């Protein structure tokens, strides 16, 4: 597992506090409770890396995890790689001012972060394409930022329903967009290997 060596680096409240904007990173985004922390833990193989089932109102943060260095380029120059866990979006109980703060910080992060190679968007396969998801996908399409969607909690559906949900989702997103999508599930491991490969492709792009 190429994501195995992930290590907590820091938690930030503003993008200026993130690690230096060098190398390559992939950001994880999603509505709160979609299953983002569980997905991060499954991908890295660390049960406690990202905190799951957070209590509403808990301080939200951007969290940086370092990965083992990826070698790339013709000179095989070492490139530092990271995963960034963005704050979950849409807690009902978060005060409006804090929500606005994160809307602003996430927006700036997406626009300004030069080392950002792509976004992994976590959606609940039973409720894909909520407002936040549409905003994120629209942003990626407009700016040609690659986005890989994990339609998680697939274990809540039959295999047939899950693949149907994927087909419907892909149709809605349309062709000729920098968006890929797959079915994912933490308890039964569905799609975990494919998702790791997708993260590595983004980092190496």
- DSSP three-state, residue 92: coil
Among 15, 26, 27, 30, binds ligand GDP (CB under 6 A): 30
By C-beta, is 116 or 192 nearer to ligand GDP? 192
If one asks whether residue 156 binds ligand GDP (CB under 6 A), the answer comes out as yes
Query: What is 11-26 written as a DSSP string?
Result: EESSGGGSSPS-SEEE
Q: How far is the CB of 41 from ligand GDP (least distance, A)?
A: 8
Window of 10-18, 67-75, 180-188, 191-199 that interacts with ligand GDP by CB under 6 A: 180-188
C-alpha to C-alpha distance for 60 and 87, rounded to whole angstroms: 6
If one asks whether residue 32 binds ligand GDP (CB under 6 A), the answer comes out as yes
Window of 7-15, 32-40, 55-63, 131-139 that interacts with ligand GDP by CB under 6 A: 32-40
Q: Answer for the pair 118, 82: CB distance below 8 angstroms, yes or no.
A: no
C-alpha to C-alpha distance for 20 and 90, rounded to whole angstroms: 28
If one asks whether residue 187 binds ligand GDP (CB under 6 A), the answer comes out as yes
Q: Which residues pair with residue 72 across a beta bridge?
A: 77
- DSSP three-state, residue 123: strand
Write each residue from 78 to 97 as x if it is in contact with ligand GDP (CB under 6 A), else as -, in one continuous string: ----------x---------
């Amino acid at each position: 597992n190429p994501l195995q060596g992930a290590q907590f680096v820091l938690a930030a409240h503003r993008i200026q506090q993130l690690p230096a904007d060098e190398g390559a990173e992939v950001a994880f985004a999603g509505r709160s409770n979609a299953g983002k922390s569980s997905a991060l833990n499954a991908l890295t193989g660390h049960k406690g890396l990202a905190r799951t089932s957070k209590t509403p109102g808990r301080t939200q943060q951007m969290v940086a995890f370092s990965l083992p260095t990826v070698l790339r380029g013709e000179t095989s120059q070492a490139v530092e790689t990271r995963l960034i866990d963005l704050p979950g979006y849409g807690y009902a109980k978060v005060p409006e001012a804090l929500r606005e703060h994160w809307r602003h910080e996430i927006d700036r992060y997406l626009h300004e972060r030069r080392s950002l190679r792509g976004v992994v968007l976590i959606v609940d396969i039973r409720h894909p394409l909520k407002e936040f998801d549409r905003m994120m996908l629209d942003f990626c399409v407009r700016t040609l930022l690659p986005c890989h969607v994990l339609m998680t909690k697939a274990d809540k559906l039959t295999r047939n329903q899950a693949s149907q949900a994927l087909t419907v989702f892909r149709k809605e997103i349309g062709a000729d967009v920098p968006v890929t999508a797959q079915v994912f599930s933490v308890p039964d491991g569905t799609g975990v290997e494919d998702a790791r490969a997708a993260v590595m492709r983004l980092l190496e792009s």
